[in-house]
Amino acid sequence: MTRLSVNINKIATLRNARGGNVPDVLKAAVDIQAFGAEGITVHPRPDGRHILYSDVRALRPLVSTEFNIEGNPEHSFIDLVCEVVPDQVTLVPDAYDAITSNAGWDIPAHAGFLEAVCKRFHEKGIRVSIFIDPVPEMCAAAKAVGADRVEMYTAAYAAIFPTDPAKAIEPYLRTALAARQAGLGLNAGHDLNLDNLAYFIRNIPWTDEVSIGHALISDALYSGLESTVKDYLKATHIL
């Protein structure tokens, strides 16, 4: 069954806009797990625009499901992950000025660096996932540098899905098959929502995990957090 990991960055964005501790990011994580989510994802960035390094440290003892930390593996990020020791780290090549993650790794071009990073995290017993575009060739490359999983960047899927679902899923299905052939686990995330999630899971049922934040938190403004988490669980557990 595909697991739902909820990215709580946007809750921190709202808190940071006003200062103080409303909404409470730590309470939100605990509640989201109580509502049934099977993981918590955070993506700290150097500018501290949402989740802070201090949040990551405070969340570690509170996350009783799977804790996934995403980010660009610069020195401070690597040190944080090795200190906190989450269940999974997802390596994302986001630039400092990126509004959100907008591309996967060109793994062959960064093979030496990524291999060293995977080794460092494996020494701590942390599963490593590498963020990739829907390019099948990246799966063998990810395996070669030591990754345990790949996470497919699903923005293009979400953009095409409303007009042509079959066209939208096609490169992701090919990449998912390549990941399975390479012996990698498979994650997915970015712009997945209640309209497109179930179709994705039906077509790629061996997806291990989806990470969803922006759409889920936005939906929760209308439906409430508990109801929304349960709606996403229904879509994720469609099989």
CA gap 100, 190 in Å, rounded: 9
Q: What is the pLDDT of residue 48?
A: 82
Structure confidence at residue 101 as a pLDDT band (50, 70, 90):
low
Side chain identity at residue 61, one-letter code: P
The number of C-alpha atoms within 13 Å of 162 and in the hemisphere containing its C-beta is: 7
Tell me the catalytic residues.
Answer: 43, 70, 190
Tokens representing 41 are: 């994802």
Overall residue count recorded for the chain in this entry: 239
Element spanning 120, H or E? helix 111-122
- The mean predicted confidence, pLDDT, of the chain is 96
**Biggest alpha carbon–alpha carbon distance for the chain:** 48
For residue 96, the model assigns a pLDDT of 62
Question: What integer pLDDT is reported at residue 94 of this predicted model?
Answer: 79
With 90 as the cut, is the pLDDT of residue 77 above it?
Answer: yes
The pLDDT assigned to 100 comes to: 63
Q: Please compute the mean of the pLDDT values over residues 20-31 and round it to a whole number.
A: 97
CA distance 96 to 103: 13
Yes or no: say if 118 and 147 are a contact pair by the CB < 8 Å rule. Answer: yes
CA distances from 9 to 6, 77, 89, 211 (A): 9, 16, 16, 12
Residue 70 is inside which H or E element, if any?
strand 66-71
Q: What is the pLDDT of residue 98?
A: 64
> How many domains are contained in the chain?
1
Angle at Cα 116 formed by Cα 66 and Cα 104, nearest 5°?
A: 65
Predicted confidence (pLDDT) per residue in 190-219, tens digit: 999 999 999 999 999 999 999 999 999 999
Is the CA virtual torsion 39, 199, 194, 213 positive or negative?
A: positive
**pLDDT > 90: percent of the chain:** 92
| Confidence at residue 239, expressed as pLDDT on a 0 to 100 scale | 74
Domain carrying residue 149: 3-236
Q: What is the dihedral of CA 131, 228, 205, 197, to 10 degrees?
A: -70
Categorize the per-residue pLDDT at 10 as very low, low, confident or very high, splitting at 50, 70 and 90: very high
pLDDT at residue 38, rounded to an integer: 98
Residue type, 63: V
The reported pTM is: 0.95
Q: What is the DSSP string of 14-67?
A: HHHHH-TTSS-HHHHHHHHHHTT-SEEEE---TT-SSS-HHHHHHHGGG--SEE
Q: Kindly state the helix (H) or strand (E) to which residue 77 belongs, with its residue range.
A: helix 75-84
Question: Does position 110 have pLDDT exceeding 90, yes or no?
Answer: yes
Per-residue pLDDT at 49: 84
* 99 pLDDT more than 90: no
Stretch 142-156: mean pLDDT: 98
Residue 13 has pLDDT above 90, yes or no: yes
Instruction: Provide the CATH number for the domain around residue 197.
Output: 3.20.20.70
**Is residue 16 pLDDT above 80, yes or no?**
yes
